[in-house]
Amino acid sequence: MNKAKRKAIIAGNWKMNKTATEAAALIGELVPSVKGAGCEVVICTPFTSLCKAVELCRGTNIHVGAENVHFEKSGAFTGEISAGMLVDLGVEYVIVGHSERRQYFAETDETVNKRAKAALAAGLKVIVCVGVTEELVRMQTKIALQGVSAEEMQRVVIAYEPVWAIGTGRTATSEQAQEVCAAIRKVVGELYGQAVAEATTVQYGGSMNAANADELLEKPDVDGGLIGGASLKADAFGAIVAAASK
């Protein structure tokens, strides 16, 4: 991390876990666990828990995000949620292009780009997920950011997800994470210039946990983490936040 140039962000992706009642209990544990953190803390909850999360996180240092968003403002899209709906709830962040959305729900690089632009247009901050090989990461990053302005990049976070590490417990080595996160920053530099690249937060997402967070986060181009399973346990998530706060 290089906090002098960009923000360190630890974001929890709860996936399809926790009812609204269970979410309230977990947030009650998280609030004291991450109080005074030296990094930005985000929890991305299922849609059904967003209202409760916004209510309980108000006045704390925890920011609330959603796990997906549709690219249209309204219409006959049964089961979908628009960016305007999220903003109206008080949501600040949204994840787009997560590997599970690409794998199980046929999301493409093009629809990820459309979702990112719709979210930015509504005023949300966006965590754009890219993954697999370095070559594919470069392509996915370029497509995801098509039509996104340099000014809007202030509200974009990019998360590198090696697909083989999602939900498996396997983690990229700190050297591998650094190499790909640096490659992502290089692409941003090619698109927007070095100043924007240096200011853009690039996260690592792929089984980051309390045991490996220190090693991953000490790398210069790893600016935080998009945390899956460990974000569902207050002590584990708190330990990762503590590592990012150093």
Catalytic residues: 98, 161
Q: How far is CA 47 from the centre of its chain?
A: 16
72 token code pair: 């249209």
Number of Cβ atoms within 10 Å of the Cβ of 60 = 14
Q: Are 203 and 192 in contact (CB under 8 A)?
A: no
Listed residue (214, 96, 222, 79) closest to 148, CA to CA:
96
Pairing verdict, β 9-13 and 224-227: parallel
79 token code pair: 């089961």
Q: Residue 132 and residue 162: Cα distance in Å, rounded?
A: 5
Number of Cβ atoms within 10 Å of the Cβ of 91 = 27
